[in-house]
C-alpha cells in the first residue's frame, strides 16, 4: 500500500505528512472490529459454512490485501520489524507440522473440514495482526481503530444488558442479507435465576472474557482520546462493563480483574489511587443494576472445586491424557477433536491444544498467548511517551487476560475472542514499532552531537599540531 511503502522505520512523520499519507489499514481494521463486535458470528454464508461469517470474510480480505501488497512491491516486511511476526511464525510452524502429519485415513469428513477451518482462522489471525502491526504508523491511527473496537464492544454491551434485564434478544435483528444462521444465535440461558446473556457472542463466557479484555483499552481512550468530549470518550467503558455483569461468568470476572489489575499496577501513582477509589463505585453500580449478581458470583467462587461447572472442566483430564498419548509430539491434527458427547468438550484451550497439536503445539500456543503481553510490557519500558506507555499497559492487560482465561474455556473455538485477540496482538506490534521509532528519534540527536564533538576535537588536535 502507498502509505506502508512510504513509511521509514524510526522516522517520525509530522502531522501534515501523516494526514497526506494516511494508512490504508485504518478503515479496514475499523470495519473488521465493528463486524466482530456487532454482527453475530453464527450468521454465515451457507455455501462457505462456519468460516463464512462476516468478520472472517473481512479478515480474509485483509490477509489478501497484505499478501498482494508484498507481491506487487508496495510493502516490504523487512523494513517493519517487530516480534509479533516471530510469535505468529512459531504458531504456524507447529500447526503446519500437525496438519501435514495427521492421519487423514482415520479422519471423518467433519474432522477434515474442521482442520481446514482452523487453517483459515489462522490465516485471518495472521493477516489482521500483521496489517495492524505494520501498517499503522501513529498513535492517532491506533486510536481510530481502538475507537471502533470499543464502540462495537459498547453496542454488544447494550444488547447483552437488554437480554439480561428484559430477556429480549436484539441479536435476531442483526442479520445481514445473504447470511443465514449456522446455529442458535443469542440464546439466553439461566444461572441461579439470572438471565445469562450472550450479546452478539456465541456464549456468555466468550462475551464476558472479551469485555474484560476491552475494559482497560476503553480506559485508555477515556484518558487520551481528547479530540472527543469527555462524555463521548468515556461512554464505551460502562457499556462494555455491562457485558461483564450480564454474562454471569466467573471467567468474565477473572478477565476484567486481570486486565484492570495490570493496567492499575502500571499507572502513575496519582492515577493509580484514583483508579482504586473507583473500584467500590463500580461494584456498587453492578449490584444496583443487577440485584443478586454479586452474591451469585461470590457463591460460585466460594464453591471452588465442589462447583458442578468446575467438576465439568476437570473430569476430562484423564481422557485428554489418553488421547494425547496417541500422538504426543504433534497431536491428532488442528481442529480435529470433535467429541460426540458434548460433556467431553475440553473447556481449556491448553488441554485441547495438547490433544490436537501435541506438546510442540502446546508450547507454541503458550508463546502465542503469553508472549505478546510481555512484548507490550517491553515496548512500554522502551518508550518515554506517557500515552504510549498507558496504551502498552492496556494491551498487556488484555493479552494476559486472554492467556489466563484460556484455561477456563476453549478460547480458539470462539470467533469473537479469536478476532479481538488477533487485533490486540497486532496493535502490540504497532506499539513496539512506535516505541522503536521514538527511541531512534531520541538517539539520532545524541549521535549527531557526539559526531560533531568528535569532529571538533579532531580539528583542534590538527590545529595544535600545525596540521
Residues in CB range of 177: below 8 A, 6 or more apart: none
Element spanning 340, H or E: none
Sign of CA dihedral 432, 141, 228, 148: negative
Q: In this predicted structure, what is the pLDDT of residue 128?
A: 98
CB 393 within 8 A of CB 400: no
Domain ranges of the chain: 2-9+28-439
- The C-alpha atoms of residue 121 and residue 109 are separated, in whole angstroms, by 18
At residue 291, φ and ψ (nearest 5 deg) are -60, 130
Among 362, 336, 348, which Cα is nearest to 94's? 362
Among 66, 61, 95, 79, which Cα is nearest to 1's? 66
Which single residue is written with the C-alpha cell 468478520?
Answer: 55
Q: In this predicted structure, what is the pLDDT of residue 447?
A: 47
Burial code of 187-209, b = ≥16 C-beta within 10 A, e = fewer? Answer: bbeebeebbbbbbbbbbbbbbbb
Q: In this predicted structure, what is the pLDDT of residue 36?
A: 97
At residue 191, φ and ψ (nearest 5 deg) are -145, 115
**194 three-state secondary structure:** strand
CB 154 within 8 A of CB 239: yes
- The C-alpha atoms of residue 26 and residue 434 are separated, in whole angstroms, by 16
- The C-alpha atoms of residue 210 and residue 31 are separated, in whole angstroms, by 18
Q: In this predicted structure, what is the pLDDT of residue 171?
A: 85
- The C-alpha atoms of residue 398 and residue 380 are separated, in whole angstroms, by 14
Please write the tens of the pLDDT for every residue from 305-340. Answer: 555 566 656 677 888 899 999 999 999 999 999 987
Burial bucket for residue 221 (CB in 10 Å: 0-12, 13-18, 19+): buried
pTM for this predicted structure: 0.87
CB 6 within 8 A of CB 23: no
Could you count the other beta carbons within 10 Å of the beta carbon of residue 288? 8
Q: In this predicted structure, what is the pLDDT of residue 165?
A: 84
- For the chain, residues with pLDDT lower than 50 are 2-21, 185-186, 445-447, 449-450, 453, 456-467
Residues in CB range of 116: below 8 A, 6 or more apart: none
Q: In this predicted structure, what is the pLDDT of residue 345?
A: 83
Element spanning 457, H or E: helix 415-464
Please write the tens of the pLDDT for every residue from 64-102. Answer: 999 999 999 999 998 889 999 999 999 999 999 999 999
Amino acid at each position: 500500500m502507498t502509505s506502508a511503502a512510504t513509511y521509514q522505520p524510526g522516522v517520525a512523520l509530522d502531522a501534515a505528512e501523516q494526514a497526506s499519507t494516511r494508512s490504508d489499514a485504518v478503515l479496514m481494521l475499523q470495519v473488521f472490529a465493528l463486524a466482530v463486535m456487532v454482527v453475530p458470528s453464527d450468521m454465515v454464508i451457507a455455501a462457505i459454512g462456519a468460516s463464512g461469517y462476516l468478520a472472517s470474510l473481512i479478515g480474509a480480505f485483509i490477509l489478501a490485501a497484505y499478501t498482494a501488497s508484498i507481491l506487487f512491491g508496495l510493502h516490504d516486511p523487512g523494513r517493519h520489524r517487530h516480534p509479533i511476526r516471530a510469535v505468529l511464525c512459531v504458531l504456524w510452524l507447529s500447526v503446519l507440522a500437525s496438519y501435514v502429519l495427521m492421519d487423514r485415513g482415520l479422519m471423518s469428513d467433519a474432522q477434515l473440514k474442521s482442520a481446514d477451518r482452523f487453517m483459515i482462522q489462522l490465516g485471518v489471525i495472521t493477516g489482521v495482526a500483521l496489517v495492524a502491526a505494520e501498517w499503522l504508523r501513529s498513535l492517532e491511527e491506533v486510536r481510530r481503530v481502538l475507537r471502533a473496537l470499543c464502540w462495537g464492544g459498547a453496542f454488544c454491551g447494550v444488547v447483552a444488558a437488554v437480554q439480561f434485564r428484559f430477556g429480549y434478544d436484539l441479536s435476531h435483528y442483526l442479520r445481514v442479507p445473504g447470511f443465514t444462521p449456522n446455529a442458535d444465535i443469542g440464546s439466553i440461558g439461566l444461572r441461579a435465576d439470572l438471565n445469562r446473556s450472550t450479546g452478539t457472542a456465541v456464549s456468555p463466557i466468550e462475551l464476558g472474557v472479551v469485555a474484560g479484555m476491552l475494559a482497560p483499552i476503553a480506559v485508555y481512550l477515556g484518558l487520551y482520546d481528547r479530540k472527543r468530549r469527555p462524555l463521548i470518550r468515556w461512554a464505551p467503558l460502562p457499556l462494555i462493563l455491562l457485558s461483564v455483569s450480564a454474562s454471569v461468568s466467573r471467567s468474565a470476572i477473572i478477565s476484567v480483574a486481570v486486565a484492570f489489575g495490570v493496567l492499575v499496577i502500571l499507572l502513575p501513582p496519582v492515577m493509580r489511587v484514583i483508579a482504586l477509589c473507583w473500584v467500590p463505585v463500580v461494584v456498587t453500580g453492578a449490584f444496583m443494576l443487577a440485584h443478586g449478581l454479586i452474591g451469585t458470583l461470590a457463591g460460585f467462587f466460594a464453591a471452588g472445586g465442589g462447583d458442578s461447572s468446575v467438576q465439568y472442566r476437570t473430569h476430562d483430564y484423564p481422557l485428554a491424557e489418553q488421547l494425547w498419548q496417541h500422538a504426543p509430539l504433534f497431536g491428532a491434527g488442528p481442529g480435529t477433536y470433535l467429541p460426540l458427547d458434548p460433556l467431553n468438550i475440553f473447556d481449556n484451550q491448553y488441554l485441547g491444544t495438547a490433544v490436537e497439536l501435541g506438546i510442540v503445539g502446546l508450547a507454541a500456543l503458550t508463546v502465542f498467548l503469553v508472549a505478546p503481553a510481555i512484548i507490550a510490557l517491553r515496548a512500554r519500558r522502551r518508550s518515554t511517551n506517557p500515552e504510549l506507555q498507558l496504551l502498552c499497559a492496556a494491551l498487556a492487560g488484555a493479552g494476559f487476560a486472554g492467556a489466563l482465561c484460556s484455561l477456563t474455556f476453549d478460547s480458539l473455538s470462539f470467533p469473537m475472542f479469536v478476532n479481538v485477540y488477533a487485533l490486540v496482538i497486532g496493535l502490540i506490534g504497532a506499539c513496539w514499532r512506535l516505541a522503536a521509532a521514538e527511541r531512534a528519534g531520541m538517539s539520532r540527536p545524541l549521535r549527531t552531537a557526539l559526531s560533531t564533538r568528535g569532529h571538533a576535537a579532531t580539528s583542534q588536535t590538527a590545529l595544535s599540531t600545525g596540521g
